[in-house]
Chain A
Amino acid sequence: MDEIRSTHSKISGTAGVLAGALAGILSVALAGTALAHRLVQPAERPLLEATHLPPLLTTRGEKIALRYDVYCALSEAEADTPCSVEGTVFARAGDTGAFQEIAIRAEPGASDSRYVARLPESIAGASAGFSYYAVFRSEDAGISTTMPAGGSAAPQRSRPLGRSIDMVLGAHSFGGEREADARVAEAAWGSGTAEVGLEQGRNLTPIGGSAFDVEEDGSVVVLDEANKRLLRWQRGAESPDSVPLEINGTLADMSIDKDGTVFVLETTGAHGKPLLRTFTPQGTSKATIAIAGRPSQVRVGPDGPVVLQSASAQWMSAEREGQPVSVSGQLSAGETGRPFSDGREIVILRNGDEVRVALVGGTGVRRSWVVQSETPLAEVQLAEPHGTGVVLVTRVINDDRDEFVVLVLSRRGVVNRFSLDSSDWAETAPLSRFRLQGSSLYQLGSTPAGLFVDRFDLEVE
């Protein structure tokens, strides 16, 4: 009898164990299925997007047409049958007054940007330029979009160049790069105390030392995002000091204020939303600010950090009087020019193989330059005031080579010009390869061995 009881007990115990194990496995499976189901429900959402290259700077007599690309679909499956879109441009002469409504018309035969608004001469030819924004609506999709997103509060601004100082660069001769006056920072790739981290390894695009800045005392600060820190080379020092930062990186840009506050712009924050992180000089976190749109640069403006939004080509304040600005606040205060502490702004427009640069003050364009090149131009890496002129760094390219061309522009034209090796083995934030401090230009470069910062004295009185 005891044997039977014992056997029964063993069977019951085994069954209990099996039932428990089965229940455990089933619970995990059901939870996993539910989670997967929640994760993968694709939303067939309608889509309405517009892009536009604004005519920020215009020349006398130039034909002005505002051209847009518009992408509208009810779902991915209908990508080839775009929904119908109606658009209106609201434009006015100068900065003030009522906007005039101008219909945007589709030009089916246009090879590019087929939504076009043609401005009346009273607006397009206004001596103060014009401001405008566009609204696109799709009744099919039930959505609309405004461009720039700030609408009437922060319209696009187009300015006439006026009497520009024009110059033509001949065909660029590659290989004549200038030697640096000094190498002010240097580090091998790695995670050691005096090394800079390399992201993604050597089988994907190498990313390292994504940005840098130069402080007033000549100290060079590199954002070592892979190792989540700043590396600061005091003037004349061979090895850097390290300041840990709580950052995620992702090709972050960086600028440092005069008081040492560090601004780090992460272009891929949580769920793809960009963030601006601010830190004390010692690396203590001060604020994390959500940033609108698709930012590409952070710089120090007259009242805190300003961020360039690629989607609108506008500079937006991320902080005012030390307080974060909301996303809607950023969008409703976008400006066409990059603001500087002396009240001036710089506006640039690369148009084919031509770069237009304007120094803008309170009454409009104070001085402007048009640089044409026989060799194709890529991006403008830097355009900053230098005395009454401007230092401009742009990239010349052919299909095999590229170099940077540095132009010191004054009212007399080009007063200094030289070429620099691009030295861009590792990728950085897109527009963080150069800094101007006083009369010296600094370049962030890299090779398979490591990273460096070189100084070039501009030798202009």
Chain B
Amino acid sequence: MLHAWKFFAAFAIAFALAGAGTAGAYHTQFIAQNCNYYPPTPTSYMTRDGSITVALYARNEGYQWAGGCWNDNDVDDSPGDPTANGGTGGEGPDCSGFTFKVWRESEDQNSTAFHQWWRLRHIHGPYLAAHFKAALGAPNYPLSKSAAIKMDAFASDHHIGMIYVPNADGTDQIIEAKGEAYGTNVWTRTYRGSSTYNGVRRLGWSQP
């Protein structure tokens, strides 16, 4: 009877400790359990429509500061991660990582080649939002905001989002990884009008 009591006591303590540890480290598990580090698939061309399609598969997924890996179940699988902490290993891209992947850019900043990374490849890429704003890297170049069309982007020192479609009132529907409380989705924004944002275009789109 005493041994049984010891067994259950040990079980309870171990269960609680392991559970607590798992809960504490839970948000670090998405990338570890789901994401890969495969090389990208090179493509010979890239269309705005094709990239919008890639971006649309990320809707309703999470946001992870410095992240770049997500699935397609329309759920943020690691909600409530501490913001601005790249070590939490949660689901989703951040704004610049999302743009990097949707724009199929290379880790080599001198390359304009098209690299399809796929959603479960964990990569952020070499650019922060401010780098896109300054049009750093061979594939990125500055663009007058009034000329920006679908899949061009608006970038500030802190954020970047890509145009999905303009609205009748002059705002834009932007597809973006907005923040931990928002995830990744399409929202109406006024980035085109704000002087804190610059226009930036990915080089080399094929039509359409």
Partner-B contacts on A (CB < 8 A): 12-13, 15-25, 27-29, 32, 36, 39-45, 47, 49, 51-54, 56, 69, 71-73, 76-77, 79-80, 82, 108-112, 114, 199-201, 203-206, 248-251, 267-268, 271-272, 294, 296, 310-311, 313, 348-350, 353, 355, 376-380, 394-395, 397, 399-402, 422, 424, 430-431
Contact = CB atoms under 8 A, between A and B. Distances in A.
Contacts of B10: 16-21, 24
Given A201-B84, A379-B169, A397-B145, A271 B75 contact: yes
Nearest to B142: A399
A271 B29 CA distance: 20
Nearest to A44: B72
Q: List the 3 closest A-B pairs by CB distance, nearest first.
A: A24-B14, A20-B10, A378-B193
A251 B183 CA distance: 13
Nearest to B35: A40
Contact of A24 (B18, B75, B173): B18
28 contacts: A16-B6, A17-B6, A19-B10, A21-B11, A21-B13, A23-B7, A24-B12, A24-B13, A24-B18, A27-B18, A51-B165, A53-B167, A71-B56, A79-B50, A79-B53, A201-B84, A205-B179, A271-B75, A294-B173, A294-B186, A348-B169, A378-B145, A379-B190, A379-B193, A395-B190, A399-B144, A422-B194, A430-B187
Contacts of A16: 3-4, 6-7, 10
Given A24-B12, A424-B194, A348 B168 contact: yes
B111 interface: no
Given A16-B3, A24-B15, A40 B194 contact: no
Given A41-B73, A53-B166, A80-B47, 11 more contacts: A12-B3, A23-B7, A24-B17, A24-B18, A39-B75, A40-B73, A41-B71, A249-B181, A349-B169, A353-B146, A379-B193
Given A32-B22, A111-B208, A204 B168 contact: no
B30 interface: yes
Contacts of A56: 168
The prevalent SS among residues of B at the interface is mixed
Contact of B49 (A20, A82, A205, A206): A82
B59 interface: yes
B195 interface: yes
Nearest to B78: A39
Contacts of B134: none
A422 B195 contact: yes
Contact of A294 (B75, B187, B196): B187
A377 B172 CA distance: 13
B168 A313 contact: yes
Contacts of A79: 50-51, 53-54, 57
B156 interface: yes
B190 A76 contact: no
A437 to B, nearest CB: 21
A295 to B, nearest CB: 8
Interface in B1-42: 2-4, 6-19, 22, 29-30, 33-34
Contact of A402 (B22, B156, B187, B193): B193
A310 B10 CA distance: 57
Given A23-B14, A42-B71, A294-B187, A205 B169 contact: no
B169 A380 contact: yes
